[in-house]
Amino acid sequence: MLHKDYLYQPFPANPKEKIPGPPPPKGPTIEYQKNIGLWAVKLPSADSIVVRRTLTTLAENPRGLPGVNESPEWREIREAFWSTYKPAHFGVKVGTKSLFGIFGIITIGVFIGLMGKFSFGRWLLLKFPSVFSLGGFKKSGPTEDEVRSASFKMWFVGHGFSDNSQGDQLKPDMEIVTRVMGPEIGYLTTPITLLQCALVLLSQRENLPKGGVMTPGIVFGPTDLQRRLEANGISFDVISRRALSG
C-alpha cells in the first residue's frame, strides 16, 4: 500500500537519449512516399511510446540490461549488440496505395475517436463494427481462406548521417529503407511472435534481465529472436540505401 504523502511526490524525470542533429520537421499529416509507392497518414500509436521508452532505458544503461545470471560470453554478445545501436526519432504512419484509402482510414479514426468517448457510441461500434469500419471489421471475423491469403508489410524509412561526429551541424545526408514482411498480422504473425518470445524466455532466461516492466526491444534485442522469426516466415530486409542531396 502506498502512503498518501508518496502519491504527491513528483517522480524524477527520465533521462533522454541524445539524438544527433536537429529534430525532424513535423511534416504534412498526409504525404506520398515515392520510394515505397504509398500514401501515408500519421497514426496515433503506442509504438512510438514503446520506442521512446526503449531509448530512455538505453540512456540509463548504454550497454543494455545485464542478465539475471548471464555468462561472460553472453555479456560480450549483449555489449557488442548495443554498441551498434544508434538513437533515432521515431514516428508511425499507416499507408495505402491510394489517396482514397487514406480518407477511409481517417473516417474510421474519426468514428472511433468520437464515438468511443460515450457509452452509447461504444455500444454502436461493438454492435455494428462493419458499418463504422467501412467494412474493415466484422463480428464473424475473417474466414480461413482470407487469413491464409493475407499478409502484411511494415516499411521503415530512416534519414541519418554518414558521419556521426558532425550530426549536430549537418542535415541528414543518408536514407535507408527497410521492410518487415510476413503472413496475416493478427491471426498468424502475432501468435508466431508471442510463441517465439516465450521460447526465448524459456531457453535463455539466465541471460535476460531480472524482470519488471520493460519494452520488448530492451529484453529481446541481443537475443536470436529475429532469426527465429525469419525461420517462421517473417522477413527483415534492407531495401535501399542512398545519399540525400543537399
pLDDT digits (tens, 9 = 90+) for 48-57: 899 989 988 8
What is the pairing mode between strands 38-42 and 30-33? antiparallel
Amino acid (one-letter) located at 207: N
The answer on pLDDT for 85 being more than 70 is yes
pLDDT given for residue 168 in this prediction: 60
Residue entry with cell 497518414 = 41
**For residue 169, what is its C-alpha cell?**
551541424
Choose the weakest-confidence range: 116-120, 201-205, 242-246.
242-246
Q: What is the DSSP string of 194-221?
A: HHHHHHHHHHSGGGS---SS--HHHHHT
The answer on pLDDT for 119 being more than 60 is yes
Q: What is the DSSP string of 40-96?
A: EEE---HHHHHHHHHHHHHHH-TT-PPPTT--HHHHHHHHHHHHT--------EEEE
Q: Are 224 and 200 in contact, with CB atoms under 8 Å apart?
A: yes
Choose the weakest-confidence range: 18-22, 87-91, 182-186, 208-212.
18-22
The answer on pLDDT for 183 being more than 90 is yes
How far, CA to CA in Å, does 78 sit from each of 29, 72, 82, 165, 209?
A: 38, 10, 6, 24, 11
- Average pLDDT score, the chain: 87
Which residues make Cβ contacts (< 8 Å) with residue 228, sequence separation at least 6? 196, 199, 200
pLDDT given for residue 132 in this prediction: 87
pLDDT given for residue 7 in this prediction: 47
User: Mean per-residue pLDDT for 209-237?
Assistant: 94
User: Mean per-residue pLDDT for 147-160?
Assistant: 92
Determine if residue 64 is left, alpha or beta; phi over 0 gives left, psi from -120 to 50 gives alpha, anything else beta. left
Determine what percent of the chain falls in helix, strand and coil, rounding each to the nearest 5.
Answer: 40, 15, 40
pLDDT given for residue 25 in this prediction: 78
What is the pairing mode between strands 174-183 and 235-243? antiparallel
The answer on pLDDT for 226 being more than 90 is yes
